[in-house]
C-alpha cells in the first residue's frame, strides 16, 4: 500500500526526521490560506498523487504570491497528472500540499528497500539527489552508496556515520544525518514498510538536514498490525479493479491484454500468464483466488474479471490441492448462469476431484471450452479470442 507525501512526512517526523512545515489543501482558497498560515513570500505547491516524476509533469509549482498559488492549484485540481510512473491514464489530483520554499546547498538521494538476495534491509544513498534512482544508476553509478542492515542489531550509529561520511556530509551535520538515517530505519522496521524514500534530502543554507520529499509503501499483509497506517489508504489513487479485488480478499493486478485469468496460487498465475504469452496472447490480469476457491469466491472472481471491458476471453486454470475441482466447477457454472458473459470461457482443472468437476462442467449445458493441460488451455484461449474478434469485426462490417 502506498501513501501520499504529506502522510509519509507526518510519519517520519514522529521518528525524528526533520521535515519542512506544510499544510494540506482541498481547494485553491484553502491552499492560499495554508500559505498565509506558513508565512514567508515563496511557497511550493505539490500535487498529492501516488507517483514519482511530479515536477517534470507539472505537479510541483513554485509560487511567489497567494494569487499564483490559486492559479496553480486551479490548474491542478480535478486534472489527471501523467508521469512516467502513472502510464497514459494518469492519476487524479484531489489534494495538494503547500510548503514554505527552502533554500538549500545540495541534494541527496536516500532510500530504504528490502533486498531479496541478502534478505535484509538495504540502504541506498547517493550524493546526486533530485532525480530518480534509475537515472542516478545510469548517469552517476559511482555516487551510489549501499549498506545492508543486520536485523539482529538494527542500524547502528557507527554504520549511519559511515554512510554520512561516504556521502560527504560535513562533520558538523553528521549527528543530524545519523538521526535521519536511524529514524527512517525505525519507521521502516516498526511499521512493516517495504520502501522508504527521501528524494531529495537536502542540506539547507542554515545547516539543517531536511526531507523535502518522502515516499513510503507498506506490506499489505501486515496492515492488520497497523490500523492507523491502513487508514491512510487513498482508493482514488488505485486501479478501481484492484481496489475492488482487495476489498473482496482477492489478489488482483490489472494488465493491458485481452485474456482474463482466474487462477489459484501466485506461482501458477504467473505461469499461466507466461503460457498465454507463449501461445501468442496477452493476459488482461493477474488474479489469484487463493486456497479457498469456494463457488462464491469463483463467482466474485468472474465478476471482477468481466468488469474490465478489454477482456475478450477468460481462462480458468485451477490446480486443486487444498481446493476441490468440483467446488471450482460449481462456482464457474453458478457465475455464468447468474451473469452470462459474451466472451469465450476456457477451463482447465487438475487435482482433487477433477473427474467430478469435469462432469459438472459437461452437464451444465454452458458453452465452456475444456482443456486438460495448461498449454492446451492457453492455446484454446488464444484461438477462441482470435475467432471471437474476427466474428465481431465481420458483424461490425455488415
Between the two ends of the chain, the Cα-to-Cα distance in Å is 48
Beta strands in the chain (DSSP E): 22-25, 43-47, 60-63, 80-81, 91-92, 96-100, 104-115, 120-126, 144-149, 193-204, 209-211, 215-218, 251-254, 259-263, 285-288, 313-320, 345-351, 368-371
Q: Of these residues, 6, 97, 109, 252, which one is catalytic?
A: 109
Instruction: Provide CB contacts within 8 A for 223, sequence distance 6+.
Output: 1, 192, 229, 230
**Cell numbers describing residue 378:** 492457453
Which residue ranges make up the annotated binding site? Answer: 46, 53-55, 99, 102, 107, 199, 213, 264
- The two beta strands, 215-218 and 193-204, are antiparallel
Burial of 41 (0-12, 13-18, 19+ CB in 10 A): exposed
Residue 207: left (phi > 0), alpha (psi -120 to 50), or beta?
Answer: left
**Cell numbers describing residue 2:** 502506498
Which residue ranges make up the annotated binding site for ATP? Answer: 46, 53-55, 99, 102, 107
Active site residue 89: no
d(CA 290, CA 302): 14
Burial of 267 (0-12, 13-18, 19+ CB in 10 A): exposed
Q: Of these residues, 5, 197, 242, 330, which one is catalytic?
A: 197
Burial 297-320 (b: 16+ CB within 10 A, else e): bbbbbbebbbebeebbbbbbbbbb
Q: Which residues pair with 99 in a beta bridge?
A: 22, 44
* Residue (of 268, 255, 261, 253) closest to 382 by Cα position: 261
d(CA 256, CA 276): 13
Which residue ranges make up the annotated binding site for substrate? Answer: 264
Which residue ranges make up the annotated binding site for Mg(2+)? Answer: 199, 213
Just list the catalytic residues. Answer: 109, 197
Amino acid at each position: 500500500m502506498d501513501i501520499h507525501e504529506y502522510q509519509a512526512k507526518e510519519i517520519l517526523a514522529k521518528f525524528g526526521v526533520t521535515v519542512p512545515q506544510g499544510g494540506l489543501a482541498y481547494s485553491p482558497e484553502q491552499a492560499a490560506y495554508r500559505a498565509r498560515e506558513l508565512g514567508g513570500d515563496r511557497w511550493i505547491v505539490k500535487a498529492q498523487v501516488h507517483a514519482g516524476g511530479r515536477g517534470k509533469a507539472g505537479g510541483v509549482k513554485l509560487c511567489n504570491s497567494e494569487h499564483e498559488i490559486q492559479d496553480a492549484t486551479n490548474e491542478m485540481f480535478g486534472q489527471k497528472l501523467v508521469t512516467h510512473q502513472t502510464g497514459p491514464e494518469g492519476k487524479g489530483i484531489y489534494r495538494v500540499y503547500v510548503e514554505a520554499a527552502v533554500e538549500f546547498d545540495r541534494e541527496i538521494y536516500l532510500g530504504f528497500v528490502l533486498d531479496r538476495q541478502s534478505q535484509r534491509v538495504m540502504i541506498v544513498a547517493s550524493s546526486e539527489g533530485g532525480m530518480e534512482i534509475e537515472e542516478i544508476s545510469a548517469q552517476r553509478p559511482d555516487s551510489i552508496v549501499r549498506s545492508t542492515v543486520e536485523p539482529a542489531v538494527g542500524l547502528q550509529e557507527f554504520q549511519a556515520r559511515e554512510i554520512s561520511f561516504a556521502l560527504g556530509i560535513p562533520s558538523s551535520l553528521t549527528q543530524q544525518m545519523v538521526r535521519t538515517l536511524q529514524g527512517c530505519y525505525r519507521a521502516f522496521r516498526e511499521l512493516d514498510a517495504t520502501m522508504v524514500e527521501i528524494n531529495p534530502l537536502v542540506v539547507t543554507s542554515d545547516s539543517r538536514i531536511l526531507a523535502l520529499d518522502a515516499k513510503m509503501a507498506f506490506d499489505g499483509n501486515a496492515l492488520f498490525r497497523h490500523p492507523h497506517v491502513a487508514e491512510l489508504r487513498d482508493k482514488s489513487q488505485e486501479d478501481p479493479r484492484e481496489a475492488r479485488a482487495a476489498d473482496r480478499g482477492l489478489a488482483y493486478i490489472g494488465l493491458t491484454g485481452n485474456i482474463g485469468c482466474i487462477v489459484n496460487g501466485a506461482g501458477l498465475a504467473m505461469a499461466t500468464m507466461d503460457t498465454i504469452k507463449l501461445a501468442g496472447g496477452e493476459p488482461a490480469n493477474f488474479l489469484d483466488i487463493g486456497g479457498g476457491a469456494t463457488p462464491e469466491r469463483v463467482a466474485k472472481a468472474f465478476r471482477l474479471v468481466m468488469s474490465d471491458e478489454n477482456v475478450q476471453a477468460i481462462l480458468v486454470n485451477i490446480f486443486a490441492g487444498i481446493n476441490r475441482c468440483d467446488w471450482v466447477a460449481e462456482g464457474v457454472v453458478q457465475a455464468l448462469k447468474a451473469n452470462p458473459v459474451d466472451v469465450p470461457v476456457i477451463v482447465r482443472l487438475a487435482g482433487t476431484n477433477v473427474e467430478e468437476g469435469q462432469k459438472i462442467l459437461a452437464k451444465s449445458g454452458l458453452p465452456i471450452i475444456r482443456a486438460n493441460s495448461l498449454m492446451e488451455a492457453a492455446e484454446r484461449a488464444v484461438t477462441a479470442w482470435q475467432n471471437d474478434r474476427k466474428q465481431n469485426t465481420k458483424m461490425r462490417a455488415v
